[in-house]
Amino acid sequence: MVAGTVNAQGLAEEDFDSIVLTHQQRIYRLLLTLLRDPDAAATLTQDCFLRAYEKRHTFRGEASVGTWLTHIAVNLVRDHVRNRRQGFWKKIFQSGNSSDEASEVAVSETVADAHATPEQRLLAREQAETVWRAVSRLSEQQREVFVLRFSEEMPLEEIAVALDVSVGTVKSHLSRAVAAVRKQLKETYGEIALQRR
């Protein structure tokens, strides 16, 4: 547990400021990674903490506060994506071509190590774009598992709790996601080139 005192009534109200302070950056990053929309990520970050505040009496400390907030954030993303009738991700999920274009537009150009050479930065950006492209084609739950594991570096058990699935399901999704990324890398760079990289 990172922050927050759990008592019989759930999380104490006075702890909420410190909970927001501790987790807001991680929750925003998760939402941004899943949605690729900074405005929506900012709004849903607020919604996530407000929902947690409203439901603080139900928190019993069986999982960490971070896992509990992740669970809320993922549900908000699902609601958001379902409710959105037009927009970025709809194009991505429904059209292969627009998926590629959208991913290329959306991928950050800031992927760079301060000490990396321009060539290394370019390579890193290409690699990130390739993974984004593969991830955008995954199913909703596979994408969530992949992001939680490889971006947020959450343990499998916590991912299982946050997504309300078994650890076996998490492993299965990860295996499929890695296969998709591997396939995308081969398509992008070619098998021989990949082996030489």
Partner 1 sequence: MKSHCNDAEFAEALLAGTPPAHVAECEACRGEWEALGGAIGSFRQAAHQDAERPTVFWTAQRTSIRSRMPRRTMTAGLRWALVSGLFLCIFAVMLFLPGGTSKTPAPINTATVTKPALDDDALLRQVDEAVADDTPSAMEPTALMASEMSRALNTNTQNQ
Q: Contact residues for partner 1 (CB under 8 A)?
A: 13, 16-17, 20-21, 24-25, 28-29, 32-33, 41-42, 45-46, 49-50, 53, 107-108, 110-113, 124-125, 127-128, 130-132, 135, 147, 149-151, 153, 156, 171, 174-179, 181-182, 185, 189, 194-197
As measured in angstroms, the least distance from the Cβ of 179 to partner 1 is 4
> Quick one: 82 or 196, whose CB is closer to partner 1?
196
> Quick one: 3 or 111, whose CB is closer to partner 1?
111
As measured in angstroms, the least distance from the Cβ of 61 to partner 1 is 21
Q: Tokens 């959306």 correspond to what residue?
A: 106
Our measurement of the distance from residue 16's CA atom to the centroid of its chain's CA atoms, rounded to an integer in Å, reads 23
In this structure, is the dihedral angle defined by the CA atoms of residues 142, 146, 147 and 153, taken in order, positive or negative? positive
Find, among 111, 103, 112, the residue nearest to 131 by Cα.
103
> Quick one: 13 or 79, whose CB is closer to partner 1?
13
153 conformational bin, left if phi > 0, alpha if psi -120 to 50, beta if neither = left
Cα–Cα–Cα angle for 100, 134, 42, rounded to 5 degrees: 80
As measured in angstroms, the least distance from the Cβ of 71 to partner 1 is 18
Instruction: Indicate the SS3 state at residue 2.
Output: coil
Phi, psi of 11 (to 5 degrees): -75, 140
As measured in angstroms, the least distance from the Cβ of 28 to partner 1 is 6
User: Torsion over CA of 85, 88, 89 and 92, rounded to 10 degrees?
Assistant: 120
> Quick one: 80 or 86, whose CB is closer to partner 1?
80
What are the Cα distances from residue 62, in Å, to 66, 68, 162, 163? 12, 9, 12, 15
> Quick one: 46 or 58, whose CB is closer to partner 1?
46
As measured in angstroms, the least distance from the Cβ of 84 to partner 1 is 20
Which amino acid, one-letter code, is at 81?
V
> Quick one: 91 or 121, whose CB is closer to partner 1?
121
As measured in angstroms, the least distance from the Cβ of 190 to partner 1 is 11
